[in-house]
Amino acid sequence: MLNRREMLLASAAGSLSSLAAPVISDGIPIRGGIPRVDYHAHVGDEITVDRAIELSKQRGVKFGLLQHAGVKGRGYAVSDDEQLRTWIKSLEGKPVFVGIEGEGVDWPSAFSAAAIAKLDYAQSDPLGMPDRSGQVLRLWSPDFRYDDAQEFMDRYTGFHVQLISTLPIDILAVPTFLPAVFRPDYDRLWTPKRMRTVIDAAVKHRVAIEIDCRFRVPSFQFLEMAKEARAKFAFGSNFQTVEGIGDISYCIEAYRRLGLTMKDLFRPRPRW
């Protein structure tokens, strides 16, 4: 049985279909002049591919479906070329984009360049920044602590740039996310210089900046600076639940507030 949120979203999707909204290429629906696409939609135990497609139709949002990908032995769904080909093949002919979220800085070593190129896109996020010993810091944990906020920010800014400049990604996901301990100081810690460093790297390497709905990042100040620099943006709900997948409300708010156009948005590269 649908909960209240799902019923409202399904109703809205029904209204959209009844208006016969125009679409751009790749079948992305447009309503109110804004493309309805979610490039950060994960499948897993709660959401199968078929369920995701059903929700996509209900909500009038085209999904880019992702699997976590990385080096074998770390529990990722996709860890070699064979598994990657299986993932891609499972979505052939379905009304979705197919992508991966690469985990860690070594995930490309698990795949051939030819296999990666058959994806519609690949993305990574900075939440897996390692400490000085190489151990992954649990930035998402409410218990995360770091003694020196400024040192953390300098290393974290550099890690954003490292991902952008060294990995074969199309989208930087969850950019500027901060651990809970630092979140109240977001505007102070993400200085204009640090923001500019990340934005310049994204523009130089042609990596789109995700507008992340789950954590409502980056800030509008960051996004305004990125727009001025002619960066590209990608919409992402970043939810792995039935209730949240396809929620691009923050993306839509940013699109309107910044006066974005279709030319400002990421579009998946053609497959081989």
Give the chain's mean pLDDT.
Answer: 91
The two beta strands, 208-212 and 233-236, are: parallel
Instruction: Band the pLDDT of 64: cuts 50, 70, 90.
Output: very high
Burial zone of 59 (CB within 10 Å; 0-12 exposed, 13-18 middle, 19+ buried): buried
pLDDT at 1 over 80: no
pLDDT at 19 over 50: no
Instruction: Kindly state the average pLDDT of the residues 241-248.
Output: 95
Q: What pLDDT sits at residue 132? A: 86
Question: Domains of the chain (ranges plus CATH)?
Answer: 4-264 (3.20.20.140)
The separation between the first and the last C-alpha atoms of the chain, rounded to the nearest angstrom, is 41
The percent of residues in the chain predicted with pLDDT above 70, rounded, is 90
Contacts of 209 (CB under 8 A, 6+ apart): 171, 172, 175, 199, 202, 218, 223, 226, 231, 232, 233, 234
Q: What pLDDT sits at residue 270? A: 60
Contact 167, 105 (CB under 8 A): yes
Instruction: Kindly state the average pLDDT of the residues 240-261.
Output: 96
pLDDT tens, residue by residue, 100-115: 999 999 999 999 999 9
Task: Give the range among 20-29, 108-117, 129-138, 185-194 with minimum mean pLDDT.
Answer: 20-29
Instruction: Kindly state the average pLDDT of the residues 242-270.
Output: 94
Q: What pLDDT sits at residue 4? A: 37
Instruction: Band the pLDDT of 17: cuts 50, 70, 90.
Output: very low
Task: Give the range among 16-25, 80-89, 118-127 with minimum mean pLDDT.
Answer: 16-25
Q: What pLDDT sits at residue 187? A: 98
- Residue with more model confidence, 24 or 85: 85
CA distance linking residue 20 with residue 10, whole number of Å: 16
- Residue with more model confidence, 58 or 7: 58
Q: What pLDDT sits at residue 25? A: 63
pLDDT tens, residue by residue, 28-53: 999 999 999 999 999 987 899 999 99
Contact 139, 146 (CB under 8 A): no
Q: Where are the beta strands (DSSP E) in 110-222?
A: 121-124, 171-172, 208-212
pLDDT tens, residue by residue, 158-199: 999 999 999 999 999 999 999 999 999 999 999 999 999 999
DSSP 207-235: -EEEEETTTTBS-HHHHHHHHHTT--EEE
Instruction: Band the pLDDT of 6: cuts 50, 70, 90.
Output: very low
Contact 34, 255 (CB under 8 A): yes
Q: What pLDDT sits at residue 194? A: 98
